[in-house]
Structures are given as structure tokens and as C-alpha cells.
Structure 1
């Protein structure tokens, strides 16, 4: 099944070596319908978010090496324009879909069967092990495409497909009841500002940790009940302040989206008994140092949360479609990607950048 208007070439951004030149071209080859393999679809990308993972992919500073040359990107929202012959799928030409970090998995192994597809040994990753969404036409895998709800603008859906899914999964991993206190570290960032909204939407009492009056104002609008500026406190005083704000006992959960290593070890000191530290952010060369005695006596949980599964993605988009969650974002053209990376490294991007393809 195909759309006859598919061109032979289209704009894309790619790199050929880690930390090497980032190249924008208008004539990148487009995979043609007859070249799709069973199970694959061709998506005309209209909007794609830019994630710190994309920056890591380009810089090559993760243990897993990415493919080269590589078209990055994994927050792509667009419409299906071709479906490979022999593909069994609920999708049809013209359907709005999202392509995410997890491009494909076997769906047969134990990890896949329990809904942990991201840890499948055969997982493929958009913008890392296979080409991603920094191009106008991207090949994806039908069984892992996410349907985008009718009426949800694609530029809004794009950042939900990674940042939104990731923090929604993390909040589910915290396993908190409505009314529980939840601290979000790095609350004003691309992940954190969405975590605040998801947590508030399910009835958690949210305290944001970040710095600056602008971020406090933003998080107040998103439902944060408290805000703590980490620049105003030394470490011990910070821990005491968090406990004080969270009814004197500390929070039930800490969602760490920050790129600061200190945020992890502080959390173990301010969590109340039975509290959960949910690790999301990936600061380099960081180790969580947990005192065994206090961890056992307080019944603390330390949980790593990677990315959400197919159902988590559908749920995350549903919040956005119902107006409960809205990413703070600025839209720019695809050719600006190199500039976006530079601003990311400088910490100069509030919320999320979405590129129009």
C-alpha cells in the first residue's frame, strides 16, 4: 500500500562519525515502497522533538556505539504514506503515528511478554541503531508505531513520544497513591516539566526542584504545590527543606530527571520510609551510594526506569489529548539541529525544541 506522491529524495540531517560534522541536505534518499521489508512502514515526518539522547548519540559518549552514518531523532510524529506488502497491521495510509526510541523488538522473549520491550535483547533503537526522525521520510516498524489521537497536533505529540512516555513510566514505577508527595528533581527541564504535569494529573502532591523565578512560575502553572531552589541551600539544609515542605516527613517518591549526580544521593536522605527513588536522568560517571542499614530499616526502593512500553506511550498521549499535559516547546526548522545541540550543551533550552520537517 502506497502514496504515489512519495519523492525519491527529501531533507534530512545526519552525521558520519561521532562528534563529527552535522550535515543538513535537501536530497537525502527516500526508501521507496517497493523496498520496504514486511513489517515496515514509511512515515512522512511532520514534527520531531530533540532529546538529550540524540546529543549523546552524536557525541558518541555512551558505551553502545551507534550506526554510522546515522540520521538521529526518536520523537517523530507524522503520517503513514506506505506499508510494506505482507504487513499485518491495524494502520492504514494517512494514519497519524509516532515513532519512538524503541523502534522494534521481538515481542516473543520474556522481557517483551511482560511489557518490558525496551530490554529485549533484539531491540532496535530509532536514532541510534537504525535511522530516526531527523528526516522528512522515515522507515519504522508497524508493530511499534504509536497511534496519535485525533485532534492532537503533531508538534505537541512529538515530545510526548519520548520525554512524556519516559516520565509517565517513571511515575508509574514510583507506585504512589493519590495524595502522596512526589519530588521531581530537574523539574523545569524537558523531562521534568512533563513529570510535574503527569504527577499532578493523577493526584500526587508535587514539589519541583530547580532554580530560578521563571521556572518556579512555570511549575506553579503546571500544578506544582511547592518549589525548592537548589541554589539557595547547602546540601544538608536542602534535605531538611524538602522534608519540611513535604509535611515534615519527606516525599513518598523522588523522580530524578536532573543531570546532577548529587540529586541521587540526596534523595536517599530525604525520602520517608517506604519511599522510592526512581532513576531517570543519566549524569555521567555517577554512582548511587546507599547506606545499607538505612535503606533496609526505612524500606526504601531504588528503581531504574528506562523508557515506557507500547501501552505507556498510548496512555502518555491520552493525557496530552485530554489537555492534562502540554509540553513547553519552541518549533524550529530541521536545518537548525546543530544549533539546537549547541544550546543543549549550554543548558540554554527551557522545555523542548520541536523541529518541523
Structure 2
């Protein structure tokens, strides 16, 4: 480790469930394995999962307190393990990198790392590493994450940040971006197919509107709250072709289906509506609304995971042949593809930034549910 690095750092810790973060001064972490890289954190984005974790809604996580959260962050490489792996050596001192939560210290040997059950060549990583490794740690969840001035990360999970993108812009893409991008890929759509995004004004949803339009799909955004609806409408107004954004409180899903069917010149109910929907909210009402929007043989991709789950009407699955699949996060290959796509097409998260010392104020703002993303910018002074 370079002698120029400090001996200690500032970090925001969770000390118990249902408690605010506490700012502490702690020793600098050190790389301990060949794949390890020490980065100086430049930006750390707040995710809904950070809230879920802090509320004790992820059984067994974190593994212990005190705990540093954040699984979507970005930083600059400052140090390697004394004998770095070839994957780590690729990232030179000074390189800017994006860091997702998954997967830290993947085992390389489980069925996930061997890619024995991954059929999708787009999502498939090279044999020996998987974001779904059954034995891996996860930054900000099972191990310490990015709400700190420095963090140890795994070189195999990193993505180079494009030159035309800042750390504050890259950080939200490390979970929100790759998650919605991966969900869109799982829809298996063709150009001009119709896709709907439930929760279109939220952290993932407003990015999904941008990605789906840039991918060449016809897009429907659905919201049911004033502030996120305004975010979705604002995003849509700057896209071409402009997505249709509907207020689910004001319009029935069945009426929207009829409108889309008329636009497409379809007369049979099974032909009307969307080819795929992505469900981001944790509400049964959102799930039901999305299922109603689908054509026969459509695909419903679930990203959210409410504590009580979703009720599924078997008639949708049996008689309408609706396929329901889950999507957790994209592979490392998809992560890099997403970042390059974002840089090329100008996809960015709407965000507000806070200094590390004001993380609890950021969390208070999150609970106002205004949409977009909230980011800790390490360059800001408290």
C-alpha cells in the first residue's frame, strides 16, 4: 500500500436495524487477496435495498453490526494486493471504476461460476466468475460497501467508467442501471415491440424509459403517485419517440389496452396491449395492472420482492400463456455493455447529491418518494 494513503477513513455505519447511520473514523481497509483492489470512493448511490436491509427485511443480512452499506458506487483505484491477479493488474492506479454489489470473491467452482445453467449468451460471463455465485460476498449487503471514503473491491466485478461519464453519474448505474437494463434484456423483445414499465418515475424506472426507447421499443410508462409521475413525464418529454406515460389512478389498464389495440389496428383482445411488462413497485395493484396490460403470450418480468410476495392468477398463466420470470441483476458482461450503452446514448439518472456526513438527510429525502436517485458525492463538503 502506498505510503501516501491515510491510516484511517470516514465511514457511515449501521449499528442496528431501524437506526440512523453514524459517522465514524476507522482504519483504512487493505487488500488481502490477489483479486482485491483498494479504491477511493468518489460517489455512492442509495438504493431501495439499502432501506430494506436497514429495516431488517433481508434475513441474515448484514452478517454483523456495525455495517457499511451501499452496493452501487464508483471510485478510483489507489492500491492492489502485493501480488495482484491478472484481472486486478488490468486496473492501473488512477483508473476510474464502477462497483456493483455482486460478486465479491466469487468461488469460481460452483455451478453458477461454471455457467452450467446459463443459456443466454448475452448474459453469460466467462467461466470462473458469476454475479450469482452461491458462495460470494456482496458489497454493502453481506460485507462493507461504499458509504465510506475507501473500499476493497474484487477486480472481476468492476467496470471501467467511460471518459464522458462522471462518478456521480456512474454510481446509480451500478445497481439501478444494470438491474433495469438486465430486465429489459430478459424480455427478449424485438425492435418496435411494446414494453411497459411499472414504476416509471422511480430510480430504476426513469432509467428504463431511456434504455427502452434507445433500444428501439415502443414504451409505456405507468405511475401512481404525483412526484414520480412528474419525473416520468419529464423524462418522456425529452425522448424520441416519446413514450406514453399514464397515471394508473386515472386510467384503467383495460382502457389503455383498448387504446394500444386501436393504434395497432388489432380487434382481438389477445393481440392488444404489451409484449412485455417490467414490475418495479412492491404493490399487488401494480402487478395486477401490469398483467392486464399484456397480450396473450406476453412476458412479465418481476424485479421487486415484497415481503408477502405477489398473488398470481393461474388463469393468466394457463389460458393466456403469460410467462412470469424474475430478474435480479445483470451479469458482469451486461454491466459493461450497459455502461457503454449509457455513455453512447446519453442515458443518465436524475439525481441529487449529498456529502457523506449528511447521509441521514439523504435517507430522509428518499422517504419523500420524489423519484430519481440520491447520491453521496465525496467531493462535497459537509
Does the pair score TM above 0.5?
A: yes
Matches within 5 A, 1:1-357: 2-25=1-24, 27-32=25-30, 36-67=32-63, 68-88=65-85, 89=87, 90-104=90-104, 105-112=106-113, 113=115, 114=118, 115=124, 117-211=130-224, 212=226, 214-215=230-231, 216-223=233-240, 224-233=242-251, 237-245=252-260, 247=264, 249-292=272-315, 294-347=316-369, 349-357=370-378
Q: Quote the offset at 1:300 in angstroms.
A: 1.5
Q: Quote the offset at 1:217 in angstroms.
A: 2.9
Check the 8 A contact 1:185/1:254 in 2, yes or no: yes
Q: Deviations over 1:177-196 (max 9, x none)?
A: 01001100100110100011
Question: Any gaps of 5 or more consecutive residues in structure 2?
Answer: 119-123, 267-271
TM-score, length-scaled by structure 2 = 0.86
TM-score, length-scaled by structure 1 = 0.92
> Helix, strand or coil: the match of 2:359?
helix
| Whole-angstrom distance in 2 between the partners of 1:60 and 1:295 | 33
Q: Quote the offset at 1:11 in angstroms.
A: 1.6
| Whole-angstrom distance in 1 between the partners of 2:345 and 2:187 | 23
Q: Quote the offset at 1:64 in angstroms.
A: 3.4
Q: Quote the offset at 1:156 in angstroms.
A: 0.5
| Whole-angstrom distance in 1 between the partners of 2:281 and 2:7 | 42
Q: Quote the offset at 1:175 in angstroms.
A: 0.4
Alpha-carbon distance change, 222 to 14 in structure 1, aligned in 2, over 3 angstroms: farther
Q: RMSD across aligned C-alpha pairs, in angstroms?
A: 1.9
Q: How many residues align?
A: 348
Range with bigger deviation, 109-118 or 261-270: 109-118
Check the 8 A contact 2:103/2:132 in 1, yes or no: no
| Whole-angstrom distance in 2 between the partners of 1:21 and 1:272 | 45
| Whole-angstrom distance in 2 between the partners of 1:227 and 1:337 | 32
Check the 8 A contact 2:253/2:292 in 1, yes or no: no
| Structure 1: 4+ residue segments shifted above 4 A | none
Check the 8 A contact 2:44/2:375 in 1, yes or no: yes
Q: Quote the offset at 1:243 in angstroms.
A: 4.5
Q: Deviations over 1:273-303 (max 9, x none)?
A: 22100001233323231324x4233322101
Q: Deviations over 1:114-137 (max 9, x none)?
A: 338343211211111110000010
| Whole-angstrom distance in 2 between the partners of 1:199 and 1:150 | 23
Q: Quote the offset at 1:259 in angstroms.
A: 2.9
> Helix, strand or coil: the match of 2:171?
helix
Check the 8 A contact 1:261/1:287 in 2, yes or no: yes
> Helix, strand or coil: the match of 1:338?
helix
> Helix, strand or coil: the match of 1:135?
coil
> Helix, strand or coil: the match of 2:296?
coil
Range with bigger deviation, 92-101 or 338-347: 338-347
Alpha-carbon distance change, 221 to 95 in structure 1, aligned in 2, over 3 angstroms: same
Q: Quote the offset at 1:51 in angstroms.
A: 0.4
Check the 8 A contact 1:12/1:71 in 2, yes or no: yes
Alpha-carbon distance change, 156 to 208 in structure 1, aligned in 2, over 3 angstroms: same
Q: Deviations over 1:173-229 (max 9, x none)?
A: 110101001100100110100011111111000110014462323323245421110
Check the 8 A contact 1:201/1:324 in 2, yes or no: no
